[in-house]
Amino acid sequence: MFKSIPQALTASLFLSLVPGLTAQTTKSVTATGSASAQHGVALARSGRCAEALPVLEKAAPRVADKELRRNAGLAEVRCAMTLDRRVMATSTLQWLNHDFPNDPEVLYVSTHVYSDLSTRAAADLAQRAPQSYQAHELEAESLEMQGKWDQAAKEYQRALQQDPNAPGIHFRLGRLLLSKPNPGPDMAEQAKKEFEAELRIDPNNAGAEYVLGELARESQQWDQAVEHFSRAAKLDAGFGDAFLGLGQSLLSSEKYSDAIAPLQTAVKLEPQNPAAHYMLATAYSRAGHKQEAAKEFAIHRRMVQKSPPEQDSSQ
């Protein structure tokens, strides 16, 4: 299912990535911690990571000189990844990002390390539990990201064959069906069945409730839409789009006063969403709250005016 992935960086690649290791430091070393850190960096520079790691792990976080502490920490991270010491690598990255939150090199190394950790974990899953539903699910997600819809759907089906009650699989199948380009006329109905199947397995899946609400709203089935959006909002109090969908469905069913409360919540959760302000303004206006409506319409107008014009994709 997955291609084999090397478990360690090559020594040459490691040496090419470590900053500041090829130039001899000109600062005098007076503290024992600094001397130990420099010794660890020198060991790492020469590719002796097994010897460097114990030294760097102890000395790097305690060095007073910021540049040396940074370089020692980066050397520790890369040696840890070379020797597949994943816990040490992530622990060191945590204090590096805390001490140097805006350092481009720290951010760059963090990006690559976390990406590599993800790749290694995926390889572990494929090697140790290749027939598990999680392995098939991960492969399906990868295929879906590549736009290989039919292959992804088959992998999701294989995951369900391994565990028919695995949570999340039916939801992803439904999402995949709705994401496919040029869907057939019955695609929405097929997706609906998947989301309903997901809720039978996991009644607390707010995402499934939300998408069912959207499908009902698009079909102008306002009562069903209100029911699904209401359940999604109750399951996830921070789900701004669920409150927005609920308010929009109540507006469409001419329940203007009822729409105000969920739309107020939507605006609090998504204050930069112009659609939320516009719908709340509409609800206020239709319910006779003219002053509040004027305020929200003004906010919406300012937000739209500040938005950059959409680019013509045909150019």
79-116, pLDDT tens digit by residue?
A: 999 999 999 999 999 999 999 999 999 999 999 999 99
214-226, pLDDT tens digit by residue?
A: 999 999 999 999 9
Cβ atoms of residues 243 and 273 within 8 Å: no
Spell out the residues 6+ positions from residue 286 whose beta carbon is closer than 8 angstroms to its own: 251, 254, 256
The CATH code that applies to domain 149-306 is: 1.25.40.10
Q: Residue length, the chain?
A: 315
pLDDT-derived band at 5, boundaries 50, 70, 90: very low
Pick from 7-16, 290-299, 302-311: least confident: 7-16
Pick from 47-56, 184-193, 255-264, 300-309: least confident: 300-309
CB atoms within 10 A of CB 313: 5
What is the average per-residue pLDDT within 254-273? 96
If you write DSSP's letter for every residue of 160-223 in order, what string do you get? HHH-TT-TTHHHHHHHHHHHSSS--TTHHHHHHHHHHHHHHH-TT-HHHHHHHHHHHHHTT-HH
Using a cut of 0.85, tell me whether the model's pTM lies above it.
no
For the chain, give the mean pLDDT: 88
- Structure token digits, residue 266: 């939507």
What is the average per-residue pLDDT within 273-289? 96
pLDDT-derived band at 62, boundaries 50, 70, 90: confident
pLDDT given for residue 310 in this prediction: 53
20-59, pLDDT tens digit by residue?
A: 444 333 344 335 678 999 999 999 999 999 999 999 999 9
11-128 has which fold? 1.25.40
Cβ atoms of residues 70 and 100 within 8 Å: yes
Residue extent(s) of CATH 1.25.40.10 domains in the chain: 149-306
pLDDT given for residue 198 in this prediction: 97
What one-character DSSP code corresponds to residue 8?
A: S
> Which of 55, 44, 59 is CA-nearest to residue 14?
44
C-alpha distances (whole Å) from 219 to each of 55, 159, 214, 278 are 65, 31, 9, 22
